[in-house]
Amino acid sequence: MTNASPLAAEDVMKAMEGLGSVDRARTNRLRVIVSPERVREAILRAQGSLGCDHVIQIGIVDNGRVFELHYHLTGPHRTVVTIKTELPRDDARIASSHDLLPPAGIYERQIHDLFGIVFEGHPNLQRLILTEDWPEDEYPLRKDWTMRPDRRYGGSTPEGT
């Protein structure tokens, strides 16, 4: 799809048939809700059938119950197609999309660093934002994270020590 006209909801529904539900989030935004196992397939369909050739961002929401991943894609049509999935907090894993959307690799590293989500198949889930001496099992943007008084965080010590 190479024209610059916006995508119709029907186009997205047809392209994503059998993957999950589709709804209109806003005038130029459509959302597809899929299981974690179907994210890569949804990305491939968005690229092939919908002309989504650009990842805008991979967003994450920690709603306290699950992690929501939002893959925001667009193309010449300037419609944002969001592929949304939910991951359990106790085993937050999903297949990496770095090979389908090369810029996604940097977002996956950030999300891994700050939330601890494992992007299986990512070639380099090394620290990106947190310092190398940050505790390996602590993720500061999780809602349930609290600083422990007996640990060092990024070269600093908890107040009063």
Residues of the chain with pLDDT under 50: 1-2
Considering Cα of 42, then 47, then 50, then 54, what sign does the dihedral take? positive
What confidence score (pLDDT) does residue 76 get? Answer: 94
**Shortest CA distance to 125 belongs to which of 100, 78, 93, 88?**
93
Residues 6+ apart with CB under 8 A from 153: 134, 135, 138, 140, 147
What confidence score (pLDDT) does residue 37 get? Answer: 97
Type and span of the H or E element at 109: helix 104-115
| Residue whose tokens read 């935004």 | 29
Domains of the chain: residue spans and CATH? 9-95 (3.30.460)
What is the end-to-end Cα distance of the chain in Å, rounded?
A: 60
What confidence score (pLDDT) does residue 1 get? Answer: 44
